[in-house]
């Protein structure tokens, strides 16, 4: 870790000291318990999912902060199996929605149906759709039309469903994990920017290694079936969601993640050469919120209850890659979003007093 990163951790530790010895001790005990319980969930998923450690961690991070996750990858890489295994390990209500071009919003949310009462009268009664669950798999979400995709906007942001002017609350915790095929494939529709922004992370699932693929073949072709056991429930998840928000984020570390967010805005105060050259639109404030919460999870899992610069850097790509839009020049030069973000991460200094250097680079 760089000296600046260590400084971030040290500064945050000082802030923790102000909490008081008793509170700090209790927080440390809770943090250790969180790591133990997190490992229990991870181990259960590992009974079924081989490899993809960063993907599994990213999905769990989304869950434990109350966010939603978008997985992108070609078919057959285990995306659907991952979410099924997660539902089993967490003992949550689970539903799967297969997105297709003919899927309608009412197929997701539900609709008012005419029913007959025992007295023989007819009245409207709301029939809940599959979104009324705790863990929802939106499978191949970009196979459906934008109209249908947009049906998830309210549920992902507010945790509610509104039909015919009536608002329904979803059970907490509520978690959407969507899978999508690369947009270059046939029969796909790009997700609206407003919906993309509601995903906490976008994770790109790659191919398995030689050793991992060999293990997958062993597990799936010998007649032995592995099943995760339930090791956590919804009430415990909500408890950890509250703990994560108590992790200390020092002011200078927070300023760093704010500047990282502003550095994605072309023409802005902290815009860098790759920003102005390759980006058309930058991240919304949700990007900064995501960086803060995801970095807090990383800090807890590293045995700290204060956020360092390195924690922020580690979560930058999955938090931002779906929140920036490339311009025509980037597309013409086959420059992808991750490359631009990595350049920004490399160029932006951790210390705020280096802002004049940023301005000079932009010129």
Percentage above 90 pLDDT, the chain: 48
Quick one: how far is CA 147 from the chain centroid? 23
pLDDT band at 26 (very low <50, low <70, confident <90, very high): confident
Quick one: how far is CA 87 from the chain centroid? 16
Q: Which of 150, 66, 48 is nearest to 108 (CA)?
A: 150
Close Cβ partners of 287 (under 8 Å, ≥ 6 residues apart) = 261, 264, 319, 320, 323
Q: What is the spatial distance between Cα 69 and Cα 200, in angstroms, rounded to a whole number? A: 6
pLDDT band at 109 (very low <50, low <70, confident <90, very high): very high
Rounded to an integer, the average pLDDT of 88-105 is: 90
The two tokens of residue 157 are 């942001």
CB 86 within 8 A of CB 128: no
Q: What is the mean pLDDT of the chain?
A: 85
Q: What is the spatial distance between Cα 58 and Cα 55, in angstroms, rounded to a whole number? A: 5
pLDDT score of 14 = 42
The most confident of the ranges 134-138, 339-343, 352-356 is: 339-343
Burial profile 213-223: b = 16 or more Cβ within 10 angstroms, e = fewer = eeeeeeeeeee
pLDDT surpassing 80 at residue 3: no
Quick one: how far is CA 135 from the chain centroid? 14
pLDDT band at 107 (very low <50, low <70, confident <90, very high): very high
What are the respective helix, strand and coil percentages of the chain, to the nearest 5? 50, 15, 35
pLDDT surpassing 70 at residue 359: no
E-strand stretches of 195-313: 201-204, 279-281
E-strand stretches of the chain: 69-72, 94-98, 110-116, 122-128, 135-139, 160-163, 166-169, 175-180, 201-204, 279-281, 325-326
Q: Where in the chain is the domain with CATH 1.10.8.80?
A: 1-19+248-363
Rounded to an integer, the average pLDDT of 248-269 is: 94
pLDDT score of 354 = 56
* Prior bond of 247 cis (ω within 30°): no
pLDDT surpassing 50 at residue 18: no
Q: Where in the chain is the domain with CATH 3.40.50.300?
A: 36-240
CATH of domain 36-240: 3.40.50.300
Q: Which of 45, 29, 10, 20 is nearest to 230 (CA)?
A: 45
How do residues 143-190 score in pLDDT, each as one tens digit?
Answer: 888 888 888 888 998 999 988 888 999 988 999 999 887 765 666 788
CATH of domain 1-19+248-363: 1.10.8.80
Close Cβ partners of 21 (under 8 Å, ≥ 6 residues apart) = none
pLDDT surpassing 80 at residue 5: no
pLDDT score of 48 = 84
pLDDT band at 292 (very low <50, low <70, confident <90, very high): very high
Instruction: Among 68-82, 253-267, 299-313, 317-331, name the one with the lowest average pLDDT.
Output: 68-82
pLDDT score of 184 = 58
The residue ranking higher by pLDDT, 39 or 359, is: 39
How do residues 239-258 score in pLDDT, each as one tens digit?
Answer: 999 999 989 999 999 999 99
Instruction: Among 83-92, 111-120, 149-158, name the one with the lowest average pLDDT.
Output: 111-120
Q: Which of 297, 312, 319 is nearest to 247 (CA)?
A: 297
pLDDT surpassing 70 at residue 356: no
pLDDT score of 220 = 76
pLDDT surpassing 80 at residue 260: yes
Tally of CA atoms within 13 A in the half-sphere of 222 that contains its CB: 8
pLDDT surpassing 50 at residue 228: yes
Phi, psi of 281 (to 5 degrees): -135, 150
pLDDT band at 10 (very low <50, low <70, confident <90, very high): very low
Instruction: Among 92-96, 119-123, 190-194, 270-274, name the one with the lowest average pLDDT.
Output: 119-123
Rounded to an integer, the average pLDDT of 30-39 is: 91
Close Cβ partners of 231 (under 8 Å, ≥ 6 residues apart) = 37, 40, 41, 44, 89, 90
Instruction: Among 93-102, 226-235, 260-269, name the one with the lowest average pLDDT.
Output: 226-235
Instruction: Among 68-77, 85-94, 153-162, 281-290, name the one with the lowest average pLDDT.
Output: 68-77
């Amino acid at each position: 870790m760089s000296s600046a990163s260590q400084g971030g951790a040290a500064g945050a530790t000082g802030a923790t000291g102000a909490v008081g010895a008793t509170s700090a001790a209790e927080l440390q005990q809770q943090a250790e318990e969180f790591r133990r319980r997190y490992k229990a969930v991870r181990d259960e998923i590992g009974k079924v999912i081989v490899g993809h450690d960063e993907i599994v961690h990213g999905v769990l991070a989304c869950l434990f902060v109350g966010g939603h996750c978008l997985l992108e990858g070609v078919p057959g890489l285990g995306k659907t199996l991952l979410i099924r295994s997660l539902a089993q390990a967490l003992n949550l209500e689970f539903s799967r929605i297969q997105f297709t071009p003919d899927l309608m919003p009412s197929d997701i949310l539900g609709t008012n149906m005419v029913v007959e009462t025992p007295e023989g009268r007819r009245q409207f009664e709301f029939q809940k759709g599959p979104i009324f669950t705790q863990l929802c798999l939106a499978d191949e979400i970009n196979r459906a039309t934008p109209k249908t995709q947009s049906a998830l906007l309210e549920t992902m942001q507010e945790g509610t469903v509104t039909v015919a002017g009536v608002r329904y609350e979803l059970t907490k915790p509520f978690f959407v994990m969507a899978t999508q095929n690369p947009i270059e494939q046939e029969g796909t529709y790009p997700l609206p920017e407003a919906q993309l922004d509601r995903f906490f992370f976008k994770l790109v699932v790659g191919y398995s290694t030689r050793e991992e693929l060999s293990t997958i073949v062993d597990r799936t072709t010998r007649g032995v079936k592995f099943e995760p056991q339930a090791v956590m429930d919804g009430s415990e998840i909500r408890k950890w969601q509250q703990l994560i928000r108590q992790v200390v984020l020092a002011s200078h570390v927070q300023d760093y993640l704010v500047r990282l967010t502003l550095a994605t805005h072309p023409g802005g105060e902290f815009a860098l050469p790759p920003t102005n050259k390759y980006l058309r639109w930058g991240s919304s404030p949700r990007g900064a919120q995501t960086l803060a919460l995801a970095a807090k999870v990383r800090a807890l899992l590293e045995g700290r209850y204060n956020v360092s610069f390195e924690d922020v850097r580690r979560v930058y790509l999955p938090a931002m890659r779906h929140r920036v839009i490339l311009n025509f020049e980037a597309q013409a030069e086959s420059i992808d979003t991750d490359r631009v973000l990595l350049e920004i991460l490399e160029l932006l200094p951790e210390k705020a007093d280096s802002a004049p250097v940023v301005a000079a680079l932009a010129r």
